[in-house]
Structure 1
Amino acid sequence: MDRFAVVRESLFRSLEKEGRFRIEEENFVIYLDGIGSFQIGRAQVILVLIRLGDEVNRDMDGEVVGVMSLSESGKGVKMVIRERLYVAPVRRVKRVLEGKEKKGALFGIKT
């Protein structure tokens, strides 16, 4: 019998807490440690969660700085801000939107 080897490429990614998010009035506000604050409308976050498309993130001056989208699995919210990828669990985002939690953690992806 011939021997064979299974070769599998895997990308090891680790998550590191790099900020938080919360609701302020009608905005979903993202605070990134050492970088600044960014916002997206509460209604736009809901559109992302129900898979109606991606939405634009803006800094506090209104400049476009990135995009928010739902992960392929539907378990995470991906946010690209200034060319860097951050993620948050959908369950936590929903709980913050519903007012059941005050804030949630935002994780940066390290490869």
Structure 2
Amino acid sequence: MCLAVPGRVLRTAEVDGTVMAEVDFGGVRKEVCLQYVPDAAVGEYVVVHVGFAIQRLDETSARQTLANFERLGLLEEEFGEGFELAAGARNSVEGTDR
């Protein structure tokens, strides 16, 4: 399955004439193309599908969607072992190991 997943823009840069961003998906960070939303700013949430940000999303909706996806196991399916490791590290830091 290939989901459109919300993530928070951490930084942006132009690479070979294309606006790119480092986006955080609840602990997993990926490089994402911002060609469809080139004015997305650091701190904003974007919905990402197959490596492209396709729209902005408010923080509350983004966090709710990520929580629902995680609860359903869809983030592990989408990001694989990387998500499990990031979630485990995040939970250890927060003191909420499962």
- The answer, yes or no, to whether TM exceeds 0.5 is no
The alignment's TM-score, normalised by the length of structure 1, stands at: 0.25
Whose Rg is larger?
A: 1
Q: Which structure dedicates a bigger proportion of its chain to strand?
A: 1
Structure 1 or 2: larger helix share? 2
What TM-score results when the alignment is normalised by the length of structure 2?
0.27
